[in-house]
Structure 1
Amino acid sequence: MPQERLSMRKIRDVLRYRHSAGLSLEAIARALKISKGVVAKYLRLAMAAGLSWPIPDTLDDAALEKLLYQQGAAREPTFAEPDYALVHQELKKKGVTLTLLWEEYRQAVGERGYQYTAFCTRYRDWAGKLKRSMRQIHRAGEKLFADYAGPTVPIVDAMTGEIQPASIFVAVLGASSYTFACATPGQTQADWLTGMGRALAFIGGVPALIVPDNPRALVSGADRYEPELNRATAEFAHPYDTVILPARPRKPQDKAKVESGVQVVERWILARLRHRRFFSVAELDAAILELLPALNTRPFKKLRGCRQNAFAQVDAPYLRPLPVSAFVIAEWKKATVNIDYHVEFERNYYSVPHALIHQAVELRITRHMVEVLAKGKRVASHPRSRRKGHYATLAEHMPAAHRAHAEWSPGKLQTWAASVGPSTAELVKRLLLEKKHPEQGYRACLGLMRLARNHGQARMEAACERALAVGAHGYRSVASILENGLDRQPVLPQQAELALPDHANVRGPDYYH
């Protein structure tokens, strides 16, 4: 592998430090700020050219250069260069070290192989010329990096023409650079967690570590050393049996792999979609998924193979299996139980056991359910309502008195009234129809039931008959009739309406037409 030539002055220093001062290769390399491999190379060239120290004064720089590179290089033994790209990929596998790779290299080439120090030095020189994201050694199946691309894609509302930006989520496996991308409506907590869940499903396994950026959607307390994940993010990691460790704030080198992956997605996917118009996030997402295979099968420039091949050989064997059931994204909220033993979320109300009145609880909200937890224990679960002002109440959450009240329905009330008598049935019917709110009618009917228990059904029927006769259709009227014993007195017949006599001075209705 060709290396940059040293100046004649540095070559003279190499020979002087070695032969006059007796310094080691490492000390010479440190003093001259060059690698040990370069020091060893020029000592070999000098030896092959028959040079030692001091160099004759008659040998100027031009003559010295000619002697080293033409005569010495011609006699320099030929070494077999290692396959540095293969070494770089093999190092990503668990348990593989440079020592092991050097031993395998020497077994393959024999005496034509470099010594261990030169082997390591030349490999590191080669790796130093790679991009930052490529030269980092990520262990197989260890890390999945995640971030959002800077550019967004406009989504056009087909009805109104309004334009909303869609964000592009990108995830990249550290060892193989296997890349996933998808479209999300924004960069909310749900969008982040959905993107990471879809990335894990795409690669078909779970790495030991997920390294996202440091957004507030995932991190409640950003810290360089101990970032604090919010509740939903921490909950996401549990079923996958993985660890989420956000990159340090303002440290892009922590996620150099996904920074490079974002750039690749922008160039090989988003650039190809720039002339297309999308009318939904789902449509954009489908277009991105169509282009992903071509991105992952593009050959590497400086390494063998492509992302797809590297994934199958390096990362895939070391990924843990996905959980049996998919993770359900949940939002967490704090709430206080109201005096009516309900908690509020999005102007809807959900019941909890009445003993929790005035206590602080947590709400776990998914797309379809609202769960209530008190001191870490689930105490209630309701289908999530989309109607504003809706009450979801379970009978077992009510106090006993409220439960007895709630168990009565109009049908049950009318059935009871009919069992007492026709007058009671008629009065109950009018109570339910005439009250402004059904609850008012329920309460009045329950009051009638109490009167019937106290005074008997016969007196109740008689009291209702008298109340209907006088046009008093209320609970209080029936209670007064029973209290004063009026139900025991005969009901006066209603007087017929008196007809006006015919008379010349009495004008009828036809007069005014």
Structure 2
Amino acid sequence: MVSVSRRQVTMNEIVEMIFQWHQGAGFKQIERSLGFDRNTVRKYIRLAQVAGVARGTPFPPEEELAQKLQAAGEASFLRTTPARALIAPHRDWIAELLHKGKKIDAKQIWRLFEEKTERRIGYCTMLRYLRSEFHWCAPVVTVRIEVEPGSQAQVDFGSAGMMREAPGGRLRKAWAFIMVLSYSRHRYVRFVFHMDVRTWIDCHERAFAFFNGCPATVVLDNLKSGVIKPDIYDPTLNRAYAEMERHYGFVADPAKVREAKHKGKVERLVPVVRGQLLAGRDFRDIEEANEKALLWCKEQIGMQIHGTTKRRPFEVFQNEEASCLKALPAEAFDIPLWKACTVHPDHHVVFDRSYYSLPTRFIGRQVWVRGGCRQVHVFLDGQLIKTHNRSFVPGTFVTDQSDYPPDKLAYLMAAPTYCRGQAAQIGPQTEALVRSILGDHAMRNLRKAQAVLRLAKKYGSAAMESAAERSLFFGNFRYRSIKAILENGWKPPQEPVEQVRLELSELGKSFLRPADYFTSKTEVLP
């Protein structure tokens, strides 16, 4: 195939061009018939004449003519091109580039040549020179690998443009998850807004359910959700994805980085999804797009004759491949959340915004934490070292007291008692305030109680007693509120305020205000 005037001229078109000339047609007639400009027609007719084609002689068979044209073209290049004369003096330098052992392509040699000589030549000129002189840069020969039914699927994410979360909602960037069964070419498409682990696994599960089975191998893209460290020979699978792999019994085979040929079937489908499923359609929201995608996979693209197999993918799937897929497991897969955590000096790791304790000997170590639906499991070097019930309330401390060493535990248990004793020495109001702050979770609220006692040292016992009385009256035990009372010198109410008593939440009276709150400009809590 030859590139001329921004068009790709095929060998069939060249042969037709020469045949029409051979039969007596002129350049203008050929130009009008085939749509090529006159210079292009003249170029190939001259090449045919060099190859020995002449009017009044038998027209050669197509294969023979193609060989003659190729030989004539190379001979013409070797004999006439002025650019070759520019390249020839630098042959040894080019040979050195080729034999350095580093991977270098023709385009880079062309760039380096222009930098070195400050002369401009065409890239195709350099390519022809390399092929003729070094028998190098020949087109890469590939072998198409076909697979057995049910043996392989290929998956990837591709950009799907902007979609709405709900009818009339805001537009967001969407992605298309695509899984193709390599034998039948039957595919599954789902649009999503995220490319995280949970979405990645959920899309796999939906695809397996759509096919009603699981392939033996899944060739996946080097997305972080599936592969943490891409490597041709020893890829490290994401832990959650690896769990799903074992649950369903397939083998994950990461594609080589930046090698689309290793996932050719799915890589070629990404533009097909954009061009045939999305182009020209305005979906109400992403849910409608997914409904359309399922129908498209079965009834439209699934029933079109495939360009390679010349068969309908959905029919091939039903008749030959569906029965070869692995049966789906009876139990649903519990999608886990895995995270690498460091055990902090306070004996806890932070996982999903909650805190989980571990024994002292693990402080400073990096561990892997797995969060399931009900429990959290902590692993070190593949060994389970701790199990906790999972908390879904952010900021919760899940602490096993036995994780502390005996001496530290005794200190921690004594600390709340010490705080209560210090508060009692200041006065009864402060003691009551500290007891209220510590409450039923003394260890969790210990720092707040200690901070309040430091305020007493700064402002004095009398001021602290007054502030404690006011805080107790309003049921407001927040540190900042207590500090604001002391800074502003606010006093407790002198007389009880009659007001309608309402049923309160466990927060107590912290949201109620006395009558003078709405008239006084100085008695306002921050």
How high is the TM-score relative to the length of structure 1?
A: 0.49
- Bigger Rg, which one: 1
How high is the TM-score relative to the length of structure 2?
A: 0.48
